[in-house]
Amino acid sequence: MLASPLFSISQQDSIQEVQSVLIQRPVLKIKPLRLSRSSFYGDQIQQFGTQDAGELISKLAGSNLKSYGGLGGLKTISVRSLGGEQNSTIIDGFVQSNSQNGQINFAQIQSDNIIGIHLSIGDASSYLLPVSSQMAGSTINIQTFENTFGYEKFEVRSSLKMGSFGQKEGYIALKSSKKKLLLSCFGKLRSAIGDYPYQFQNGLSIIDSKRTNNGYQDAYFGITTGYKFKKSLVRLGYKGSVIDQELPGAAILYNSTADELLKTNDHSFFSDVNFDKNDIYYRAFSNFSANRLNYKDPSFFNNIGGIDVTYINNVARAGLSFASYKVKKLTFHGGFEMSYAQLESSDSTFSKPNRLLSQVLGGLDFKTTIGVIKGDISFVYSLEDTKFGQRADDVYKLQPFLSFQTKNFSKKHLNFKFWYRNSIRLPSFNELYYNNIGNNGLRPEIANQYNVGLEFVPIEKDLDVFIRTNLFYNQVIDKIMSVPTKNLFVWSTQNIQNVEIYGSELSITSSLRKGYFTYSALINYSYQKVLDNTPSSLTYKDQLAYSPEHTISNEVGVEYKKSGVRLSHSYVSYRYALNQNVEQNRIDGYHLFDVALFYNLPLKEKNELKLQLNIKNILDTPYAYIRSFVMPQRSFIISLNYAFR
């Protein structure tokens, strides 16, 4: 139903987009491409054998992963080089946020339970998502097994994993949702010793060393209930995590000492109600999250014998979104959202800030004979306060969005799309108030994105081929960065630069089913110039740090009856560790190859048991996303996945 016609723009599609927040999609043979959107689903996600959501997102076109460590270390994502803070991350329809540092650590979002993941750039992936995500520069939308209504009376999803560096994982989720009642729960434990060997180019020689103080012990858990009424649907749930990890820090030449520790506790309560009346769909939601972070550095040479600091970040959020299909050819949508965030700290010098954020959005889709014109206007108002110290200025800003997407031009489903989005990102609490680094005079960072793209289906028979390409141009005004100001050791956050980004993306997916064979392939290529566009800057027109010009992510999979193999390749071209484009700052590019082998063991109907072996970095390539933060070389994970449907 969803696949035919693949690219038509109809009211039905819009409603399905609306419902996708809540209801598990049926598994499709062919996954449709969407302009401005990349997706992975179901088995494909499982076959990747990713350790967390960060690794998974890095395979989506347009994303760029920054990983500060191979196991459990910080992972952030930037989309089209706009910076992680310009991105909104949604899990099951609820915004994930961290007002302390403004970025989501994707290493702390598990991937075992993900049944769908989408990266939308420019365009909102659903009008029933919180309006803050519809206003963002891009959105990562994750659907989990536990929190979506399914099609089976009772389902089980579980896995046991063991891997290199002492990695052990156990995950189980139970769900009942055939009838009106949804009941689900899940739990996951994982641990690792984490010490992994690495090679490091030290001048003319390669040194072998081991990354230490890299272990972790995590627990994730949650429970959800929901109910389908005649014309409405309600969900209520809780999820939490306790993460206890060692921090290996950077790999420093001649110095392997490391003893920093980080403990993170997250508790999140969420609820929403969805209903429709007279062809108007509504979603009201609320969620509350409490994040407690404790950082210890026992060998920091202060007079109290080290650092032991705790931060508590609470965020409450509520909102309403709606989409009206009452008028033929017109879709009205909009909503509002309010959030209150506060940060407490055991650090007496921290200002203990809070922020009341209000966001409103209204938009209109108009269907013409040749395509759809979409536009919206949103308003953000941020009210800042602190318990002591000077507070930052309030922020209020209008943000427009405009797009035009054609209907199919030919039998090859050719579509063009043009869009423009203006978005802002507010400075985080750390950027505004953190000791000497914070700067309460910061202005919001503004991004203007322009995009033109096309998609088409050159072949559509036994062999299906989909092609999508985008050209984009982005401007970032008042980019927020931390830079040394008084000396090497006194850094401060500044609105330092204007940035100009232009580039292109190409995605090709293909699939072929012949007899017992199923073949699938995916090619993602991205080219980006990310230039310092501040004439007074010392690095004017230089490519910004950690912005590779070329990134490639390729996947090839072959399945025969109950077994299959998948080869993944990724390439990140050379980039610079600092903004100045000189040889001293250059970091070489790298190719990575991963292999997954899997076999579905024969079991009775409704039972699925899959044995899977993932070999990562099979060529044992030494590499690092961030200079000095060396990544693991060849490693393996063997997993046993059981599902009951």
Partner 1 sequence: MRLDKLVFIFIAVSLLSCKKDKEEDPIVSNNLSNGMVVLCEGLFQQNNSSLSWVDLSSGAVQNSFFLNKTGRLLGDTGNDLQKYGSKIYIVVNVSSTIEVLSASNFESIKQIEMTNGQVSKQPRSMAFANGKVFVSCYDGYVDVIDTTSLTVTNRIQVGQNPEGVTYANGNIYVANSGGLNFPNVDSTLSVIDVNSEIELMKITVGPNPGAVIADAFGDVYVISRGNYGTIPSRLKRINTATNTMDETFNFDVNGISKMNNNFLIHDGTSVSIFNPNTESIENSNLVNTSGVTTLYHIQYSASRDRIYLLDAMNYTSLGFVRVFNSDGSYVSSYEVGLNPSKIIFYD
Cα dihedral: 569, 572, 574, 576 (round 10): -150
Listed in order, strand segments (DSSP E) in 212-329 are 216-228, 232-247, 260-277, 280-297, 307-324
The yes or no reply on residue 516 touching partner 1 (CB under 8 A) is no
The yes or no reply on residue 390 touching partner 1 (CB under 8 A) is no
- Indicate which single residue of 104, 182, 426, 467 sits in contact with partner 1 (rule: CB under 8 A): 467
The site for partner 1, by CB under 8 A, has a size of 59
Shortest distance in whole angstroms from residue 321 CB to partner 1 = 34
Cα–Cα distances (Å) from 428 to 103, 209, 384, 508, in that order, read 9, 36, 11, 37
Q: What tokens does 549 get?
A: 């010009």
Listed in order, strand segments (DSSP E) in 58-177 are 63-67, 75-79, 87-91, 94-96, 114-121, 138-144, 155-163, 167-176
The yes or no reply on residue 4 touching partner 1 (CB under 8 A) is no
The yes or no reply on residue 402 touching partner 1 (CB under 8 A) is no
The yes or no reply on residue 244 touching partner 1 (CB under 8 A) is no
**How many C-beta atoms lie closer than 10 Å to residue 586's C-beta?**
14
The yes or no reply on residue 280 touching partner 1 (CB under 8 A) is no
- Based on CB atoms, which residue is closest to partner 1, 136 or 467? 467
- Indicate which single residue of 407, 412, 513, 569 sits in contact with partner 1 (rule: CB under 8 A): 412
Shortest distance in whole angstroms from residue 628 CB to partner 1 = 5
Segment interacting with partner 1 (CB under 8 A) among 20-28, 186-194, 320-328, 410-418: 410-418
The yes or no reply on residue 536 touching partner 1 (CB under 8 A) is no
Binding mask 486-505 for partner 1 (x = CB under 8 A): xxxxx-------------xx
- Based on CB atoms, which residue is closest to partner 1, 300 or 560? 300
| The three-state (H, E, C) secondary structure of 428-492, written as one string | CHHHHHCCCCCCCCCCCEEEEEEEEEEEEEEEECCEEEEEEEEEEEEEEEEEEEEEEEEECCEEE
Tell me, rounded to whole angstroms, the distance of Cα 109 from its chain centroid: 9
Binding mask 595-634 for partner 1 (x = CB under 8 A): --------------------------------xx------
The yes or no reply on residue 436 touching partner 1 (CB under 8 A) is yes
- Based on CB atoms, which residue is closest to partner 1, 182 or 499? 499
Segment interacting with partner 1 (CB under 8 A) among 74-82, 121-129, 254-262, 509-517: 254-262
The yes or no reply on residue 539 touching partner 1 (CB under 8 A) is yes
- Indicate which single residue of 471, 618, 638, 640 sits in contact with partner 1 (rule: CB under 8 A): 471
Residue 253, SS3? Answer: coil
Shortest distance in whole angstroms from residue 189 CB to partner 1 = 29
Q: What tokens does 529 get?
A: 């110039």
* Preceding amide of 5 cis, omega within 30: yes
The yes or no reply on residue 205 touching partner 1 (CB under 8 A) is yes
Q: What tokens does 358 get?
A: 């209000």
The yes or no reply on residue 582 touching partner 1 (CB under 8 A) is yes
Note whether 538 and 546 are within 8 A (CB): no
The yes or no reply on residue 521 touching partner 1 (CB under 8 A) is no
Residue 166, SS3? Answer: helix
Segment interacting with partner 1 (CB under 8 A) among 15-23, 98-106, 132-140, 452-460: 452-460
The yes or no reply on residue 461 touching partner 1 (CB under 8 A) is no
Residue 397, judged by CB atoms within 10 A of its CB (0-12, 13-18, 19+), counts as: middle
Residue 279, SS3? Answer: coil
**How many C-beta atoms lie closer than 10 Å to residue 521's C-beta?**
16
- Indicate which single residue of 28, 252, 330, 370 sits in contact with partner 1 (rule: CB under 8 A): 252
How far is it, in rounded angstroms, from Cα 90 to Cα 97? 9
The yes or no reply on residue 418 touching partner 1 (CB under 8 A) is no
Site residues (vs partner 1, CB under 8 A): 202-205, 249-255, 257, 259, 299-303, 349, 409-410, 412, 414, 436, 454, 456, 458, 467, 469-471, 483-484, 486-490, 504-506, 525, 527, 538-539, 549-550, 574, 577-580, 582-586, 627-628
